[in-house]
Structure 1
Amino acid sequence: MFKRIWHSLFKNSGPRREKRETDVNGTILINGIHYPMVDWSFSGFSVKDFEDTVYRGDRLPISVQVETSKGASFTFDCTMIVVRFAEDSKELAGAFVEVPQDVRVALADYFD
């Protein structure tokens, strides 16, 4: 029973609920280091070459700078929650939280 509950909570649930852009020129500033973005969406991002050690659920202040292939630009500060960190590939995925309201609206318009 526990195994069934575990898999229902943490298995890959199929297609993503949000559009994710991979053709993006951007960085995330974490602890004074700029990391290149792999992709991003309305609610989060992933970066490569992450050199620190973090754990799922950690909260970190970040600065986001993005120039999209559609010509839009976004620069904002917020907090991230670590969603996934793969030590072998050095890829970090995070969710945006505590995003300023005006940025939330602009992101919603962009990803709509």
Structure 2
Amino acid sequence: MNDTYGHIEGDTLLHEVGKVLRSSFRESDVLGRVGGDEFLLLLKNIDLEVALDKLEQVKRQLAAVKVGSQGKALSVSMGVYVPEDDDLAYRDVFVKADEALYRAKRSGKNRICVHGR
């Protein structure tokens, strides 16, 4: 974002994304920026379909955020992984979610991909 729109616009967009995420999820959920324009959400004790509905809502809210001087809609790509084993290490969960994220980006962006689907 910063390379395309400059640091001031990029910082404003990151702030808006953070605001949408904080207002969309539970206090018990873990939200964080992992680098650049990538965020991580850790949602425990939630059904996959409920989580996907929430993510679709977030995607719609973020599309209402306008980017740059031309007012282009913000697009988001999301990768989802639901571990079947509670004992998985964070790194393993992160890698699988990241794989799903990059599949979403390669598939035309502005979409949600679930690892293993």
- TM norm structure 2: 0.28
Bigger strand fraction: 1
- TM norm structure 1: 0.28
Instruction: State the structure with bigger RCO (CA 8 A, min sep 6), 1 or 2.
Output: 1
